[in-house]
Structure 1
């Protein structure tokens, strides 16, 4: 029975990722960026520690994007009408994605700019 529960939980998680992929343009852009960065990493033959940094920030950005989407969905469900508190919550969640994305960009510059020039 325990294995069945884990499988169901895993299935729910995959369904959540599929839902974000279908409904969120920004998530799809993050996935495209991820693929381009991985291709660049292969092309420039980056070091193991650089791969660790790349995949850490990729995970950070994708995770914050999914959490941001979940927060937006919760707010839309609980408070469908426009409300200043709902806007504040959504803006803060979106801000977390911006910070994660800037962090990823800085890590990308540190790793790839010296290899390009």
Structure 2
């Protein structure tokens, strides 16, 4: 029955939010991201207008995810079995969430960039610029270490699967090298986004597990930074 009191309507709304949070892992991810963003704004002491824009953008993503969950529930109720139109309805609803998240990411960058990028640039300058020789040595060492780890792991093949993701390792190695070589915060962000997309493709293809992708990324970053510091110390 439709609630007749305002407090009952509020309780129903809260129950809907709790249900979406319990059943949808992406909703939980969005809430965690929202907490991280809002906590960051407090640390950076952004202006009231900037905080309002970020809060509005975050709310829009959560709203889109709630609507996506509602569409999925209705579609499953009407069409329990597989139907092309049911799949299309769910895909369109998921697309709405993606558009909202993309817009929020742009908003977050525009608001937080002037606070975060100077710190990032200062950190890169403190570490120093990587030489071209160091970049080449880093990639070669990453490849050697990945092959050794795959061989010792005893799973997968040298070119596919195994203990660590070679694509992730090389991707993050190159991203780290470019970040250190250019000393440009924005280029560094784009390079690491590209490396993350390469790593994510290994998950989509079901070639690697999440921990293998993360391990590969850490290997790539760690070896690149270590080689850079050695070249800087003895160069």
- Measure how far apart 1:106 and its partner are: 0.2
TM-score (norm 1): 0.94
How far, CA to CA, are the matches of 2:53 and 2:82 in structure 1?
A: 39
**Residue aligned with 2:81, SS:** coil
Q: In the alignment, what sits opposite 1:51? A: 51
Map Cα deviations across residues 27-58 of structure 1 (whole Å, 9 max, x no partner).
Answer: 00000001100111011111111011101111
Taking only aligned residues, the RMSD between alpha carbons, in angstroms, comes to 0.9
Q: In the alignment, what sits opposite 2:18? A: 18
Q: Which runs of at least 4 in structure 1 moved beyond 6 Å after TM superposition?
A: none
**Residue aligned with 2:80, SS:** coil
Q: Tell whether 2:55 aligns with 1:89.
A: no
Greater Rg, structure 1 or structure 2?
A: 2
Q: Relative contact order, CA 8 A, sep 6+: which one is greater? A: 1
How far, CA to CA, are the matches of 2:80 and 2:114 in structure 1?
A: 48
- Unpaired runs of 5+ residues, structure 2, are 119-235
Map Cα deviations across residues 6-35 of structure 1 (whole Å, 9 max, x no partner).
Answer: 111111111111101111100000000011
**Residue aligned with 2:21, SS:** helix
Q: In the alignment, what sits opposite 1:62? A: 62
> Quick check: which one's helix share is greater?
1
Q: In the alignment, what sits opposite 2:99? A: 99
- Measure how far apart 1:5 and its partner are: 1.2
- Unpaired runs of 5+ residues, structure 1, are none
How far, CA to CA, are the matches of 2:48 and 2:7 in structure 1?
A: 32
Aligned residues: 114
How far, CA to CA, are the matches of 1:17 and 1:39 in structure 2?
A: 21
- Measure how far apart 1:113 and its partner are: 1.5
